[in-house]
Structure 1
Amino acid sequence: MLSRTVNVAAVQAEPIWFDMDATTDKVVSLIGEAARNGAELIAFPETFIPGYPWHIWLDSPAAGMAHVPTYLANSPTIDGPQMAKVADAARSGEITVVLGHSERDGGSVYMGQAVFDPSGAMIKARRKLKPTHVERSVFGEGDGSDLDVVDMEYGKVGALCCWEHLQPLSKYAMYSMGEDIHCAAWPSFSLYRGAAQALGPEVNNAASLMYAVEGQCFVVAPCAVVLDAGQELFCDTETKKALLGRGGGFARIYGPEGTMLAEPLAEDEEGILYADCDPALQAIAKSAADPIGHYSRPDVTQLLLNREPQRPVVAEAPPAADVTVVDVTEESVEA
């Protein structure tokens, strides 16, 4: 469990849509603000750099292809200059950063989360295991090697994206690693409002809340917003404006026994939520129901977790050629 109280921060903001450099600058600014306010960890929404591709929910695949070149070009690589800027900001603020981003790797993009420690080192880079529904028309998948936590001096930190919080086995795998602070990255909750309850704030904030209670961990749940710039980019008709409403920001921070630890912002307001994570709350929660300890029944149900990286090409060394051994000792030469 946490060794001490930790102040955490959840971002609620709009990215600079499909502009990775400008959005990176916004990330750096928010990191600096959180550090000045005493936060030791800050978490960003899903694919915050360069923004979530909302067009995939609003139009045909053919129409969406118009955004592909821009989105690919503005998805940062793990070793690119944008990540270096975030690392510098983490080091300057002496703060842990959990960044949601679209990761470009060759000709593919993945829904990534990168963790930077207070020294500025990137200590974790993961990919969403299964992009949801139409997200699979844009993003590739991660694998079991991504499902992990990182050790900080105050405890263990983990992260998942969006509807990974609706995958019971993935969640249980994370609980089993002794997660203390979980970063739940969300894109925004203004899509199909009134028509698709499962995409709204009630269901998805409940998923974050349940994660906290099930895993007896603190959940930092950043959430992006769609403001005027987002509607201008994605909504060229009134119908699309109705499908992707303005706002959708529902950032939250939950305690391990279900307490909402930070006062929410208005859904169309940008800002940062802050809360103290007190280990006493975690101890109380785990004493009641620890799903990987005293409240488990491994004789009835167990989880199989494959941690091996899944690679499209596995290079094997060629088999050794048959070799005839020749005796070239002095005795053999004389013979």
Structure 2
Amino acid sequence: MGLAHPKYKVAVVQAAPAWLDLDASIKKTIALIEEAADKGAKLIAFPEVFIPGYPWHIWMDSPAWCIGRGFVHLYFDNSLAYDSPQAEALRAAVRKAQLTAVLGLSERDGGSLYIAQWLIGADGETIAKRRKLRPTHAERTVYGEGDGSDLAVHERPDIGRIGALCCWEHLQPLSKYAMYAQNEQVHVAAWPSFSLYDPFAPALGAEVNNAASRVYAVEGSCFVLAPCATVSQAMIDELCDRPDKHALLHAGGGHAAIFGPDGSALAAQLPPDQEGLLIAEIDLGMIGIAKNAADPAGHYSRPDVTRLLLNKKPLNRVEHFSLPVDSAAAALPGEAAVARPDQSI
């Protein structure tokens, strides 16, 4: 008898966010979690910063315009803090649904925002909170960055070894290899939508970026769940205040997908403007077959030729420490003072 490999249904979200509305975002996210559970899914994956939606305004005009239109403060105020009632409502919904959720959110921490993915287990407890290592291009006007601890894969007895990255992190070869080397089995590749600067920027489009998700599946010999948001007409109406801006962003852009470790598509894609869940059954036993041919960080690697240096230490922006107290002044009555190297007694 061979090993028993988990086999279960997964759900991948393709939907427009409740843009710039935190409470409505929570309500929509919970509804999708409940729908996935009703369809028998044990894992649901959400698009990049689905809560409260992607900040498309940063690609549409100047920072002054973004501030003047109110997008900057609205985006900050409607981002999610982990110690908030809204976050607790999400945990409770996941626990009630008894599935694992990989949420996409704009994380508010103090005065800063981060592109984050929150992995919550079926018991409602946090598996991990990760941040995008380096926001892409204009995103750096909104978000801070993560650190090496965010390149992590997590073992779960019910769903296997799971990890996640956002958007163009899938174009970073070393970051991808760091994940492959941790024997990732199920990967969430979160995307915001593929309708920006279409058709004159192919690198931002569905063909290129779905190819990145698909190649990740083959390179890593893992399942890739690639949720992708859509842009609603209401968002277009809010963002495109001049005729020329309608050429920059379009409604739709949803191209969610699910890929197997051999690169095969495991679910039929929805139309780009349609909301819904992609459902597929995955069998982790397929991974052994794929890795038999090419295990990127195992038998198919050449560490004598190329190796990766990975610093997984969390980046603490403030380190607390105490200076040595002057030993002579600190000595208690009746105790001998101990000299520092630069001090004689």
TM category, shorter: over 0.9
- Give 3-state SS (helix, strand or coil) of 1:140's partner: coil
The residue that corresponds to 1:202 in the other structure is 207
Question: 2: CA distance between counterparts of 1:243 and 1:301?
Answer: 41
- Give 3-state SS (helix, strand or coil) of 1:21's partner: helix
The residue that corresponds to 1:302 in the other structure is 307
Instruction: Give me the CA root mean square deviation.
Output: 1.4
Question: 1: CA distance between counterparts of 2:301 and 2:308?
Answer: 11
The residue that corresponds to 1:72 in the other structure is 76
Q: How far has the Cα of 1:318 moved from its partner? A: 2.0
The residue that corresponds to 1:28 in the other structure is 30
The residue that corresponds to 1:121 in the other structure is 125
AA aligned opposite 2:261 = P
Is the alpha carbon distance of 1:41 and 1:2 closer, same or farther for their aligned partners in structure 2, counting shifts above 3 Å? farther
1:87 matched to 2:87? The reply is no
User: C-alpha offsets along residues 5-51 of structure 1, whole Å, 9 cap, x if unaligned?
Assistant: 12111000001110011011000000000001000000000000000
The residue that corresponds to 1:3 in the other structure is 5
Alignment of 1:39-188 (within 5 A): 39-65=41-67, 66-153=70-157, 154-188=159-193
User: C-alpha offsets along residues 189-233 of structure 1, whole Å, 9 cap, x if unaligned?
Assistant: 001111000000000000000000000110000000012111112
The residue that corresponds to 1:260 in the other structure is 265
Question: 2: CA distance between counterparts of 1:90 and 1:83?
Answer: 11
Q: How far has the Cα of 1:105 moved from its partner? A: 0.6
1:219 matched to 2:224? The reply is yes
Question: 1: CA distance between counterparts of 2:239 and 2:178?
Answer: 36
AA aligned opposite 1:4 = P
Question: 2: CA distance between counterparts of 1:237 and 1:182?
Answer: 39
Q: How far has the Cα of 1:327 moved from its partner? A: 4.5
The residue that corresponds to 2:340 in the other structure is none
TM-score calculated relative to the size of structure 2: 0.93
Contact 1:42/1:97, CA 8 A, preserved across alignment: yes
Question: 2: CA distance between counterparts of 1:225 and 1:145?
Answer: 30
Question: 2: CA distance between counterparts of 1:198 and 1:320?
Answer: 58
Q: How far has the Cα of 1:325 moved from its partner? A: 6.4
The residue that corresponds to 1:333 in the other structure is none
The structure 1 residue matched to 2:319, chosen from 303, 314, 322, is 314
The structure 1 residue matched to 2:252, chosen from 247, 250, 258, is 247
The residue that corresponds to 2:274 in the other structure is 269
- Give 3-state SS (helix, strand or coil) of 1:68's partner: helix
Question: 1: CA distance between counterparts of 2:318 and 2:94?
Answer: 35
Between the aligned residues of both structures, percent identity stands at 55
Is the alpha carbon distance of 1:234 and 1:57 closer, same or farther for their aligned partners in structure 2, counting shifts above 3 Å? same
Structure 1 spans left out of the alignment, 5+ residues: 329-335
AA aligned opposite 2:260 = G
Question: 1: CA distance between counterparts of 2:109 and 2:13?
Answer: 26
Structure 2 spans left out of the alignment, 5+ residues: 336-345
Contact 2:5/2:283, CA 8 A, preserved across alignment: no
Question: 1: CA distance between counterparts of 2:332 and 2:73?
Answer: 59
Question: 2: CA distance between counterparts of 1:327 and 1:34?
Answer: 71
The residue that corresponds to 2:15 in the other structure is 13
Q: How far has the Cα of 1:180 moved from its partner? A: 0.6
The structure 1 residue matched to 2:234, chosen from 229, 232, 237, is 229
Question: 1: CA distance between counterparts of 2:240 and 2:316?
Answer: 38
Q: How far has the Cα of 1:67 moved from its partner? A: 1.0
AA aligned opposite 1:46 = E
- Give 3-state SS (helix, strand or coil) of 1:40's partner: strand
Worse overlay, 109-118 or 317-326: 317-326
Question: 2: CA distance between counterparts of 1:276 and 1:150?
Answer: 20
Count of residues paired in the alignment: 328
Contact 2:5/2:285, CA 8 A, preserved across alignment: no
User: C-alpha offsets along residues 63-82 of structure 1, whole Å, 9 cap, x if unaligned?
Assistant: 11231111100001112112
Question: 1: CA distance between counterparts of 2:315 and 2:6?
Answer: 37
User: C-alpha offsets along residues 233-285 of structure 1, whole Å, 9 cap, x if unaligned?
Assistant: 21112221221011100000000000100010000000000111112321211
- Give 3-state SS (helix, strand or coil) of 2:127's partner: strand
Contact 1:114/1:124, CA 8 A, preserved across alignment: yes
Q: How far has the Cα of 1:311 moved from its partner? A: 2.1
Contact 2:257/2:278, CA 8 A, preserved across alignment: yes
